[in-house]
Structure 1
Amino acid sequence: MWEEKVTISGPYNFDLALSRLALDPLNTVDIEQRLVRVPLAFNDKKIVADIIATGTLEKPEFIVRASDEKEKTLHRLTEIFQWDVVLLHVHEHFQTTELKDLFNDHFGTPLVLEFDPFSSLIKSIIHQQVNLKFAFTLTERFVQAFGEEIDGVWFHPSPEKVAQLKVEQLREFQFSGRKAEYVIGIGALTASGQLDFKKLKTMADAEVSNELIKIRGVGPWTVENFLMFALGRPNLFPIGDIGIQNALKKYFQLEEKPSLAIMEKYKEQWNPYLSYAALYLWRSME
């Protein structure tokens, strides 16, 4: 077991990040202890990393503990929790925009990634066209049936495991037939190496989109969600997302949800940090 102190530049609101992680019942989060336990897989080695916040919003500091793979673990946690992003630059950008008050309310909220790109894509497929509560329930059933629990932390099933599933097995958990086919298909593509997440990390947003949109079951919303929450790309704004539309309606006190044309106009001034605008708007509704 090793332990490392990590200090980053503020602001960084880990408590708001934890509250969002806590929405997912599969995540192991302790709000009072300011703790999250992260499942990490390096090839065939599975590791649980504990992150405990010991600092403040302005002076963020963390204790990281894990059993092995110190260098890889710290690198991956830096990616997931975006510890190398200077959030003050993001905040200052929005002080000259109409979202100033929103960014003041959610000061220092980071864009935290899903713990694993493959499970992020599978989760996006599961979440399609169902309400958030049922989406979490479906994902929880899926992971607890086919994943693995280590030291009280759930790991999503591997691509190889997912590829071997039958549609009927997922139908038992209230998956639609089509959604079950999509999930198994993505498992098969990943297991065979046709879908390579390491390669996607090196590609531009448009290139990633072109690769993913070919996959059965993957549409624009899923691509944008993946770019934001699997790859941490900072300049995505899913204008087709109902949650964002409702958040804009509420924030700007509109009589009805904004049209796509109005949303395109709004977002011009939010470049190059559109992902943060989207995240903070979602947060305003959560």
Structure 2
Amino acid sequence: MTWHEVNDVIVISLPENFDINANLGYLTREKNECMYEIENDIITKVIAIGEIRSLVQVSVINNKQMVVQFLNDSRPIERWKREEIVKYIHEWFDLDNDLTPFYEMAKADPLLEMPARKFYGLRVVGIPDLFEALCWGILGQQINLAFAYSLKKQFVEGFGDSIEWNGKKYWVFPPYERIAQLTPTDLADIKMTVKKSEYIIGIARLMASGALSREKLMKMNFKDAEKNLIKIRGIGPWTANYVLMRCLRFQTAFPIDDVGLINSIKILRNMNRKPTKDEILEISFPWKNWESYATFYLWRVLY
């Protein structure tokens, strides 16, 4: 992690194949996002790590440097806390990952060649907080994306904290400790199924008890982490792989039953039907160890 400070501003060096516009394209795909705001290519977001709550503005200079400014007196005084924020941003944009082998592979791949060229510099944008990633996976099950975003907004604004700045509220995702103490009745105002409420509370309780944590999952290999997630009520292979991909950073994570992935393959291959699972397995054979990136780039084709 290469970073330094100028006055009170953090400056992070960016890897070669990073393009902020490609990433903003992803981050701005839904108007109803409640976890950050983007205006004039500047991202405003609360970064919450444990007790740390910092409202930051993130901008990029020439795709070489990422500049992090603190708003509202929220700059932590201790250097280790600022280091945690840098770590979070590295996680968020997958900055420690060298994508050169991915682009080499994609160049020769009939399906990935176009997206990799067109969206060059896009990273798998992460959700570093495990509880947020799991909730997002569950909220998104079997509904369209726009509805999933409206559920997330209701959940965050109902149970999260916020920092106010310039007359606007910037939200922190509800902590699992708080949700673990609720019952599905407490979530009744949110337009989601009772089942989803039960799943989210169940996960919050597992995390509160220490049985489930990002640290524990990160120590496992891919198959064990996937198995451990699928054992949890409300998490099937799709949600598990989504979380393995966007939070735990397993590059082999592959939500093979994902509707977006299936539709993207259908479009790029001019098919008049959906590809079968066997066909997808065959197509994806060359993507070995880059399945999560291949998926993310194929999703990008759709919006």
Category of TM-score, reference length = shorter chain = over 0.9
Q: Is the 8 A contact 2:128 2:246 kept in 1?
A: no
**Distance in 2 between residues matched to 1:148 and 1:157, nearest whole Å:** 7
Q: Secondary structure at the match of 2:43?
A: strand
The 5 Å alignment of 1:235-246 reads 235-246=252-263
The two structures have a TM-score, normalised by structure 2, of: 0.88
Determine the structure 1 residue equivalent to 2:68. 64
What TM-score results when the alignment is normalised by the length of structure 1? 0.93
Change (3 A) 1:45 1:9: closer
Q: Is the counterpart of residue 9 in structure 1 residue 15 in structure 2? A: yes
Q: Match for 1:143: what amino acid?
A: V
| Whole-angstrom CA distance in 1 between matches of 2:54 and 2:10 | 15
**Tell me, what secondary structure is at the counterpart of 1:285?**
coil
Q: 1:2 Cα deviation (Å)? A: 2.8
1:42 corresponds to 2:46: no
Give, as a single letter, the amino acid of the residue that structure 2 aligns with 1:92: E
Q: Is the 8 A contact 1:5 1:64 kept in 2?
A: yes
For the 8 Å contact 1:8–1:84, the answer to whether it is kept is no
Structure 1 position 212 matched with structure 2 position 220: no
| Deviation (angstroms), 1:102 | 2.1
In structure 2, runs of 5+ residues without a counterpart are 1-6
Question: Deviations 1:68-125 (Å, cap 9, x if unpaired)?
Answer: 1211111221121111112233212211111212211111111110141211101111
> In the alignment, residue 14 of structure 1 is paired with which amino acid?
I
Q: How far 1:48 moved relative to its partner?
A: 2.5
Among 21, 24, 35, the residue aligned to 1:27: 35
RMSD: 1.6
Q: Verify the 8 A CA contact 2:23 2:121 in the aligned structure 1.
A: no
CA contact (8 A) 1:5 1:62 kept: yes
Q: Provide the residue aligned with 2:3 in structure 1.
A: none
Q: Indicate the residue corresponding to 1:284 in structure 2.
A: 301
Q: Percent identity?
A: 28
8 Å contact 1:21–1:27 — kept in the other structure?
no
Q: Deviations over 1:39-60 (max 9, x none)?
A: 333322322332111123xxx3
Runs of at least 5 residues in structure 1 that lack an aligned partner in the other structure: none
Aligned residues of 1:39 and 1:115 also touching (Cα < 8 A) = no
1:222-265 Cα distance to aligned partner (Å, 9 max, x none)? 10000011112222222111111010000011111100010000
Alignment coverage as a number of residue pairs: 282
Deviates more, 1:10-19 or 1:182-191: 10-19
Q: Which of 171, 174, 178 in structure 1 is aligned with 2:188?
A: 171
